[in-house]
Amino acid sequence: MEQRTQISYTGIAASPGIAIGEVRLLDRRRISVQEYKISPEQIEEEISVFLEAVELARKQLELVQRELVRQSKTEHFYIIDTQLLILKDAMLIDSTSELIRTELINAAGALKKVLRRFAAVFERIEDEYLRERGSDIELVGERIIRNINGMELPQVGELERRSVIVAHDLSPADTCQFDVDLVVAFVTDLGGPTSHTAILARSMEIPAVVGLEKITRLVGDNTPVIVDGNSGVLICNPDAETLKKYLELKRHYEFYKKQLRSYCELPAVTADGKNISMQANIEFLPEADIALNNGAQGIGLLRTEFMYMARLQPPTEEEQFQSYKKAAELFAPYPVTIRTLDIGGDKFVSDISLEDESNPAMGLRSIRMSLCEKRLFRIQLRAILRASAYGNVRLMFPMISGLAEVRAAGEIITQVMQELENEGISFNRDLKVGIMVETPSAVFVADILAAEVDFFSIGTNDLIQYCLAVDRGNEHVAYLYEPFHPAILRALKHIADAAHAAEIDLCICGEMAAEPMFSIVLVALGYSQLSMSSQGISRVKKLIRQWDTGHSQELIDILMEQKTAADVLRVLKEKLRQFIPDADPTLDY
């Protein structure tokens, strides 16, 4: 028998866990599209070929939705909904028909051109999560092109063994055809940590490695592989020693995961009885169920950007209201913290088009953009206020850099409240209004801000980027992105002190809260509400339940004396081992 050599590929760890199985290739490489000239007499025919392909795509997607319902995978509905919305979008449909007519090109060629324009817009988006949403348009486009060309969608066929699905990209429509008992991992050419494959895999609790670029061309069907979703590695043809090592790691990880599950139900109470509120960060409504299943006691951050991004026109007040209301009802009496739009003008494909900015991270974005585009801002505020009548809604403004912005936004809230009152529409007049503290200036004036808002929520993802002047998405400076940097520790302490002095709620919704070790530092600093992606909740809870706040002062005092991030980390580990001797040293740290 031919002995193949072991070879490893490193991609992006998208969903944790270890899987061992055989490759099943899902061939979804780009289909090549011929563009050619048509005669004026062929225009109407080409347009109708295009429109029929769109209609067929709609029917196919509705079928997928029915299949998702049958398989009880409704949590992925929103992705198909998004694709259905794209199919209806005038920009896609009209622009393609227009190109066929004016440039006399065939339907598939015209559509490809339009798709390229969309792709160019999405590629410019800074926010990685939102950038990934461009893949929805790409997937829809590919479906229409296949329909125009009368091509079947790729299939994996019957699975007989434990299979690792290797694909260019994956969508929920693809996952419908899998026998989930036999699919042990996903591996894709495309994608980052917030791609569809990553989101799907995490919610299905299947290990995944994405962003391997050309892996569909490098591995063949039936190749034995190990997928390490914890470190983002794919090992093909593993030798006996590697296999043994990974079997052990897999056993260890699965035991740990099982143990963690028992923590979902338990409250996050420290060993000495202090309650910590564990909340979830979510992007779309369907994630709310995952949050509840993981024991979230509310939503600490509802990012509303997705609603604006996955489509080409901003959402209506009614649409937003329905979505916020559902979240509020689902979590009542726990809080649902709705953050107003946190993106800039360059993120919109249509409606608002602002000039390109050379430094968008510091440009007209977030609350600045809302205060500039007041019409959109008012629509969102009306929707949030209306939803506040149905649960414990909190309103939050992102990227506040000073009190003037808080006051300007506050004035608009007052006007919108008055408007609703005049219209006889109910809302909670006492709803809590807070801000994200994520700019250095907000840290410096935390005392001034604390006097005029109901709560702070610290956005450490941005706070670290702005404080340390390190672009959070730039891999060349990623080594400088240090959550344990003494400057960050000092900032967190400064903010906490200001919030405590003003007696306002203190939350954190940056990903740092999901790091168990750091969560202890936050609790020790007096942060009583921690919000993070749902999957992180039980890990954090486990350690918090072992922490005695009697040690908090000593821990903070010694950490504050440290001079570098490495020192902070070393001392933190030492202290946690000292104060929580039975904490699992391999997995929690």
Q: Look up residue 567 and give its two tokens.
A: 């020192």
Q: Give the one entry of ligand PEP, Mg ion, none that residue 141 binds, where binding means its C-beta sits below a cut-off of 5 to 8 angstroms depending on kind.
A: none
Measured from the CB atom, is 390 or 397 closer to ligand PEP?
A: 397
- Nearest-approach distance from CB 483 to ligand PEP, in angstroms: 11
Q: Which residues contact 247 (CB under 8 A, 6 or more apart)?
A: 20
Print burial letters for 57-95: b (CB count within 10 Å at least 16), e (below 16).
bbebbeebbebbeeeebebbbbbbebbbbbbebebbbeb
Part in contact with Mg ion (CB under 5 A); list of ranges 205-213, 316-324, 329-337, 435-443: 435-443
- Nearest-approach distance from CB 457 to ligand PEP, in angstroms: 8
- Nearest-approach distance from CB 461 to Mg ion, in angstroms: 5
Compute and round to an integer the Cα radius of gyration of the chain. 25
Q: Give the one entry of Mg ion, ligand PEP, none that residue 460 binds, where binding means its C-beta sits below a cut-off of 5 to 8 angstroms depending on kind.
A: ligand PEP
For residue 440, whether the previous peptide bond is cis, meaning omega lies within 30 degrees of 0, is no
163-167 and 18-26 strand pairing: parallel
In whole angstroms, what is the distance from residue 153 CA to residue 174 CA?
A: 9
Any contact of residue 462 with Mg ion (CB under 5 A)? yes
- Nearest-approach distance from CB 462 to ligand PEP, in angstroms: 3
Of the residues 76, 168, 196, 485, only one is catalytic, namely 196
In whole angstroms, what is the distance from residue 183 CA to residue 204 CA?
A: 11
In whole angstroms, what is the distance from residue 254 CA to residue 589 CA?
A: 17
Q: Give the one entry of Mg ion, ligand PEP, none that residue 301 binds, where binding means its C-beta sits below a cut-off of 5 to 8 angstroms depending on kind.
A: ligand PEP
Part in contact with Mg ion (CB under 5 A); list of ranges 210-218, 222-230, 460-468, 541-549: 460-468
Q: Is 236 a catalytic residue?
A: no
Part in contact with Mg ion (CB under 5 A); list of ranges 6-14, 45-53, 452-460, 554-562: 452-460
- Nearest-approach distance from CB 340 to Mg ion, in angstroms: 12
The site for Mg ion, by CB under 5 A, has a size of: 3
In whole angstroms, what is the distance from residue 196 CA to residue 171 CA?
A: 6
| Contact present, 170 and 26 (Cβ < 8 Å) | yes
Q: Is 509 a catalytic residue?
A: yes
Tell which residue, 448, 412, 413, has the closest CA to residue 430: 413
Any contact of residue 141 with Mg ion (CB under 5 A)? no
How many CA within 13 A on the CB side of residue 255? Answer: 8
Measured from the CB atom, is 28 or 303 closer to ligand PEP?
A: 303
Contacts to ligand PEP by CB under 6 A: 301, 303, 342, 438, 459-462, 509-510
Measured from the CB atom, is 168 or 472 closer to ligand PEP?
A: 472
Q: Give the one entry of ligand PEP, Mg ion, none that residue 303 binds, where binding means its C-beta sits below a cut-off of 5 to 8 angstroms depending on kind.
A: ligand PEP
Decide: residue 154, CB within 10 A, 0-12 exposed, 13-18 middle, 19+ buried: middle
Measured from the CB atom, is 172 or 363 closer to ligand PEP?
A: 363
Q: Which residues contact 243 (CB under 8 A, 6 or more apart)?
A: 20, 226
Measured from the CB atom, is 169 or 438 closer to ligand PEP?
A: 438
Distances (CA, A) of 513 to 75, 161, 536: 25, 39, 9
Part in contact with Mg ion (CB under 5 A); list of ranges 42-50, 297-305, 370-378, 451-459: 451-459
Measured from the CB atom, is 14 or 488 closer to ligand PEP?
A: 488
Catalytic residue numbers?
A: 196, 509
Binding site for Mg ion (CB under 5 A): 438, 459, 462
